[in-house]
Structure 1
Amino acid sequence: MHANQLAVPVETVRELIAEQFPEWRTLPIRSVPSQGTVNAIFRIGDRLTARFPLEPRDVESARRWLESEAEAARELVGRTRFRTPEPVALGEPGAGYPLPWSVQTWVPGVVAADEDPAESVAFAHDLAEFIHDVRAIDTRGRTFRGGGRGGDLRSSDAWMETCFGNSERLLDVPRLRRLWAVLRNLPRSAARDVMNHGDLIPGNVLVSNGRLAGILDVGGLGPADPALDLVSAWHLLEAGPRQVLREDLGCDDLEWERGKAWALEQAMGVVWYYVDSNPAMSRMGRRTLERILADSSSA
């Protein structure tokens, strides 16, 4: 999926665990199939999971990244009734794998990519509750930092041009360009930054019997545009439940449309980037764009 992507064989994982965490050496270790694009995932027994970064970087920046993810995970634990991973340990490079890696608790459930909750009103209520719980976490004076999703929509213009250029044979680019030209100019509301999960896509959401069972990949938790987690409205829900989510959260038109804009920006990137290397992720982006266009046509 990425240039110079790291290989992580299960034998390497076994060796690293045996060397660095001998208390777990007798537990079964197995690879977890995933649509994820950042980490290779392995279960350690029934209660733990190991995450190995797939993209090369220098060791110290990788360690700082994993430490910040663990800090974010600890900040979320107990703040919502929905289960989230808890940090357990940080592993070191070894056995041919060049980076630090992390161990978290295993959260049971089926990802929404495999058990689609798009038509579930109950799931929409659950999702709204989770977003509300995250927003209620104190930012402690922190504000959004960086140039990606969660700040100024117009900061994504160059990226969107890249996406449009690479999507000519995949999508209705002229129509999507026109929509972005409108959405990119939406002003920030007067609301201050609030805490967001930051990546509420189907692969990070766990479902059980049409209800929200847990949330994964919580390391991006942080302050951002209050509309950012509204990407989930288009990534996860069809029109009826989507309206339930909006009503539960009390979104005004500006916040709702900015959420749509962030979902458009994210979906445009995954369609072409993963069309060959991660087709399921690419299809997710297409479905999100279809929902956005349908919603915009009916407005």
Structure 2
Amino acid sequence: MHPGMHPVDGDLVRRLVAGQFPRWAGAAVERVPSDGTVNAMYRLGEDMVVRLPLVAGGAGDVALERTWLPRLAPHLPTPVPEVLGAGRPAEGYPWPWSVYRWLAGENPEPGALSEPVLLAEDLAGFVTAMRSITLPAAPQAHRGGPVASLDAATRAAIEELRGIPEEGVDCDAATSVWEEALRAPVRDGPPVWLHADLMPGNLLVAGGRLTAVIDFGCAGAGDPACDLFPAWNLLPADAREVFRAALDVDDATWTRGRGRTLSQALIALPYYRRTNRAMADNARHVIRTVLAEA
């Protein structure tokens, strides 16, 4: 998927665990099927998972999660990853890695939600709790800055998609939605705590309800519009309105959130269309959903 990816396999994970956490050396190691783009995951025994960055850019996320997850978890209504072991570079593997407690559940799929309205309420509760956190010295959330900071990359992606007619993206309509987001008033207030990457792959559900939120590598403070992603990348129209009402989102924040979600999808589609089917399919879903709403 990316240049500079480090090869990771079960044998490497076994050697890393045995060398640094001998108490877990005999536990079974099994690759966890994942559409993630930055980390590989291996189940360790029955109740743990090893998570290793695939690229150098993911190494900083490891430190961020180790620092902030223990502080954020007590304030959240939904289970989040618990760091059990802090791994170091070794065995030719160049970056820090972590062992987490295993969290049960499945990733939700757009169009296949059994309880979309209840899931929307659960997601709104999680986002509300994140926003209410007052822990000081928060890092800046990835993608949490001004909408305008995404302008160059978004317009470049739109032009790239013009050259891929088989994707069928209405690039003029996408440009119009994006420019509306750029014109939306900026929030008048301090930044708030965000997860900042509420993709379906970072959510776990059981029985249609939210059971856990994972991957806090993008978390930090920023524009609350950043955590509106599920409105378009996951929820159907009726549940989307429930999500918006539960969060009491004003028009300007909604417009920025829609634009941010569209921007992420427009950038992801040409990048992942041949290397990560799930990411590309979700990007197509977002583009269709956003343009239909707009």
Structure 1 moving runs of 4+ over 4 Å: none
Query: Where does structure 2 lack aligned partners over 5 or more consecutive residues?
Result: none
TM-score (norm 2): 0.93
- The percent of aligned pairs where both chains have the same amino acid is 36
Which residue of the partner structure matches residue 73 of structure 2? Answer: 77
1:90-105 alignment, distance < 5 Å: 90-105=86-101
CA drift of 1:126 comes to 0.7
Which residue of the partner structure matches residue 27 of structure 1? Answer: 27
Deviates more, 1:203-212 or 1:214-223: 214-223
How many pairs are equivalent? 290
Which residue of the partner structure matches residue 277 of structure 1? Answer: 275
The letter of the residue matching 1:150 is G
Instruction: Select the residue among 106, 109, 115 that pairs with 2:105.
Output: 109
Distance 1:118 1:182 in 2: 33
Distance 1:111 1:22 in 2: 31
Which residue of the partner structure matches residue 41 of structure 1? Answer: 41
Which residue of the partner structure matches residue 143 of structure 2? Answer: 149
SS at match of 1:138: coil
CA drift of 1:269 comes to 1.4
Distance 1:295 1:51 in 2: 37
Residue 48 of structure 2 contacts residue 99 of structure 2 at CA under 8 Å; is this kept in 1? yes
Distance 1:219 1:95 in 2: 24
Residue 119 of structure 1 contacts residue 241 of structure 1 at CA under 8 Å; is this kept in 2? no
Distance 1:119 1:265 in 2: 28
Distance 1:266 1:97 in 2: 30
Which residue of the partner structure matches residue 163 of structure 1? Answer: 157
CA drift of 1:108 comes to 0.7
SS at match of 1:176: helix
Which residue of the partner structure matches residue 89 of structure 1? Answer: 85
Offset from partner CA, 1:189-236 (integer Å, 9 cap, x none): 213211111100000011111111110102322111011101121111
CA drift of 1:179 comes to 1.7
Offset from partner CA, 1:252-284 (integer Å, 9 cap, x none): 111111111111111111111100110111000
Distance 2:215 2:32 in 1: 14
| 1:255–1:114 distance in 2 versus 1, CA, 3 Å | closer
CA drift of 1:167 comes to 1.3
Instruction: Select the residue among 227, 230, 233 that pairs with 1:229.
Output: 227
Distance 2:239 2:111 in 1: 16
1:1-299 alignment, distance < 5 Å: 1-56=1-56, 62=59, 64-113=60-109, 116-117=112-113, 120-140=116-136, 142=138, 144=140, 149-168=143-162, 169=164, 170=167, 171-296=169-294
CA drift of 1:75 comes to 2.0
Offset from partner CA, 1:91-132 (integer Å, 9 cap, x none): 122223222211111111001148943861111111111111
Residue 193 of structure 2 contacts residue 220 of structure 2 at CA under 8 Å; is this kept in 1? yes
Residue 77 of structure 2 contacts residue 125 of structure 2 at CA under 8 Å; is this kept in 1? no
Residue 49 of structure 1 contacts residue 104 of structure 1 at CA under 8 Å; is this kept in 2? yes
Give RMSD over aligned pairs: 1.9
TM-score (norm 1): 0.91
Distance 1:118 1:261 in 2: 27
Distance 2:250 2:131 in 1: 16
SS at match of 2:56: coil
The letter of the residue matching 1:207 is V
Distance 2:110 2:27 in 1: 27
